[in-house]
Structure 1
Amino acid sequence: MATLLGEQKLDARVEFRGFGLQESDDSAVPVPFPDDFRWGVFLHQHVRRFDLFSAGHTHTASVTARVWDGVPDPGQEEWEEQAEIDYESVTGDVALWGSGRSEDLIRLGIPGLWRVRVRCVGRAEVERVTRDEGTAYGVERYVIDFWPKAG
């Protein structure tokens, strides 16, 4: 059973339905966010970066980032979207990008190859709220799990 090493709560300032996470050293990212953002793709992998396509146009999404020492149990919760990718970090720190770079970093602890699982709820509701009422705060919620990639 995997052990949780750290958990952080972050706000993602979503614009044009997107936000991204990338290596904190921007010079190590060949194509920085938002370049080559893929419209309609829930989780899109780039070199030292990954992007998320939100169901709402402009809002603040809630992000819980968790770092594990092994593959975490997926749990029994129902998710509207979920996907996994591989991710490489050269510093062990990941920056969150939305309408700009967040001051908070996700601290992986060590550089290396990681597996990332992204899950999301609140998509239908944030689509409705941003369409009918304007902006929303914390309606769309993401859980992003990082663990060292074996092999």
Structure 2
Amino acid sequence: MSDRDEPEDEAPFVAACGQRVYLRSGGHTHTPALSVEVWDDRPPADGGVWEAQGEAGVDVPSGQVGVWTYGGPCEDAIERGEAGRRWHVRACVSGRERVRELAEQGVPVHAERYLLQFWPV
């Protein structure tokens, strides 16, 4: 865990700082689709077609996790419910190339899709 508010500039697709999970989006000014799964143990790899995947550990002292792209926060925090835990998260994304193109012409909705899978450490 870092004391920084944001990951380093060269951070990978998914990184965690504090109670936040950061995702490097393929575009800007758009609304991605986000699915969240919570598992009791490490889940099997999802069989979907993903452009990028990554994992990170995140401390959750309040019981809530914020999801941010490197441009800013998503609307709502994810309620983990159990304060003071450390969680591992796997993030998968599709639509990165498509949203990069569409964001140059407008504000696309759900062109980029994320799956976040959490499990306790």
Root mean square deviation, CA, Å: 2.2
Q: Provide the aligned length of Structure 1 versus Structure 2.
A: 117
Matched, 1:108 2:94: no
> Residue 62 of structure 1 aligns with which residue?
33
Identity of aligned residues (%): 31
> Residue 148 of structure 1 aligns with which residue?
120
Alignment check: 8 A CA contact 2:20 2:67 kept? no
> TM-score under structure 1 normalisation?
0.67
Residues of 2 paired with 1:80 and 1:118: CA distance? 11
Q: Which amino acid aligns with 1:78?
A: V
> Residue 137 of structure 1 aligns with which residue?
109
* Structure with max Cα Rg: 1
- Deviation of the 1:52 alpha carbon: 1.1
- Deviation of the 1:31 alpha carbon: 3.5
- Counting strand residues as a fraction of each chain, which structure ranks higher? 1
- Deviation of the 1:100 alpha carbon: 5.0
> TM-score under structure 2 normalisation?
0.82
> Residue 80 of structure 1 aligns with which residue?
51
* 5+ residue gaps, structure 1: 1-28
Residues of 1 paired with 2:68 and 2:49: CA distance? 26
Residues of 1 paired with 2:74 and 2:100: CA distance? 24
